[in-house]
């Protein structure tokens, strides 16, 4: 199964992707995570991306397209993948079409998670992840069962993203509306776009996604 999760920052793409990975035995390809790893190791891509990401702007298409083109060729993608954060521009979407066509692969679904901008700022500024396993939490919406201890791996170190602040979030939302929203009519015209209410409870969103995916 191959799918794209589309939606503004804070829509819950990463949270839902983690759940779908387990349900369908596929991998999550988060370009944000890949770039953050590149920044952390100080690789040439990381050095180019760091300031752009901190400001909340989009990293250049050539970097992203090259990154995904390599990643989808890896063995663990054979059973399928969830693209989380890619494509984010029409140029990326068109490049992805080319990559898939070359391998005679198709997308099973493009799911838009629709969330009002007003909700997103609070969602983003309250979120954090386990430093060890990456499980996602939120100060109000999704706390660990035992305060300060990751439900998934039991560790006690957590991280907050440096771009999850009010200024960068404004820029990220603007980038979504200007550069990513045009992908909605692009995929709608291909008949692959499904839209779900991303403001529903986390479990209800997962259920709605599974209903789409299981309907084939």
Q: Pick the catalytic residue: 50, 123, 127, 194? A: 127
Contact with ligand AMP (CB under 6 A): which of 5, 27, 39, 64?
A: 64
- The tokens for 52 are 């752009």
Which CB, 9 or 26, lies closer to ligand AMP? 9
Which CB, 55 or 211, lies closer to ligand AMP? 55
What residue is closest to ligand AMP based on CB?
32
In angstroms, the first-to-last Cα distance of the chain is 10
Stretch that binds ligand AMP, among 27-35, 105-113, 152-160, 184-192 (CB under 6 A): 27-35
d(CA 16, CA 28): 10
In angstroms, how far is CA 4 from the centroid of its own chain?
9
d(CA 154, CA 159): 15
Q: Is 12 in the site for ligand AMP (CB under 6 A)?
A: no
CB hemisphere CA count around 157 (13 angstroms): 3
Q: Pick the catalytic residue: 2, 13, 50, 194? A: 13
Asked if 127 is an active-site residue, the reply is: yes
Stretch that binds ligand AMP, among 58-66, 106-114, 126-134, 197-205 (CB under 6 A): 58-66
Which CB, 20 or 58, lies closer to ligand AMP? 58
Restricting to residues 66-125, name those near ligand AMP by CB under 6 A: 85-86, 88, 92
Asked if 190 is an active-site residue, the reply is: no
Q: Is 18 in the site for ligand AMP (CB under 6 A)?
A: no
CB of 171 to ligand AMP, least distance (A): 8
Q: Is 35 in the site for ligand AMP (CB under 6 A)?
A: yes
Asked if 88 is an active-site residue, the reply is: yes
Sites of contact with ligand AMP (CB under 6 A): 9, 31-32, 35, 52-53, 56-59, 64, 85-86, 88, 92, 163, 172
Q: Which residues are catalytic?
A: 13, 88, 127, 161, 172
């Amino acid at each position: 199964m191959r799918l794209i999760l589309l939606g503004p920052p804070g829509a819950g793409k990463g949270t839902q992707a983690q759940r779908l990975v387990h349900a369908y035995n596929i991998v999550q390809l988060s370009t944000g995570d890949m770039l953050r790893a590149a920044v952390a190791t100080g690789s040439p891509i990381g050095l180019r991306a760091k300031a752009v990401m901190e400001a909340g702007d989009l990293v250049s298409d050539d970097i992203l397209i090259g990154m995904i083109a390599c990643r989808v060729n890896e063995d663990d993608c054979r059973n399928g993948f969830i693209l989380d954060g890619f494509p984010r521009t029409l140029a990326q979407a068109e490049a992805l079409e080319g990559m898939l066509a070359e391998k005679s692969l198709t997308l099973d679904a493009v799911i838009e998670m629709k969330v009002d901008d007003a909700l997103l700022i609070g969602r983003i500024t309250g979120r954090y992840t386990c430093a060890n396993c990456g499980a996602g939490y939120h100060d109000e919406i999704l706390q660990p069962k035992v305060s300060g201890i990751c439900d998934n791996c039991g560790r006690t170190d957590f991280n907050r993203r440096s771009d999850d602040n009010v200024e960068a979030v404004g820029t990220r939302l603007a980038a979504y509306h200007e550069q990513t929203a045009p992908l909605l009519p692009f995929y709608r015209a291909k008949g692959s776009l499904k839209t779900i209410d991303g403001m529903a409870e986390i479990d209800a969103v997962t259920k709605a996604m599974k209903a789409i995916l299981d309907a084939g």
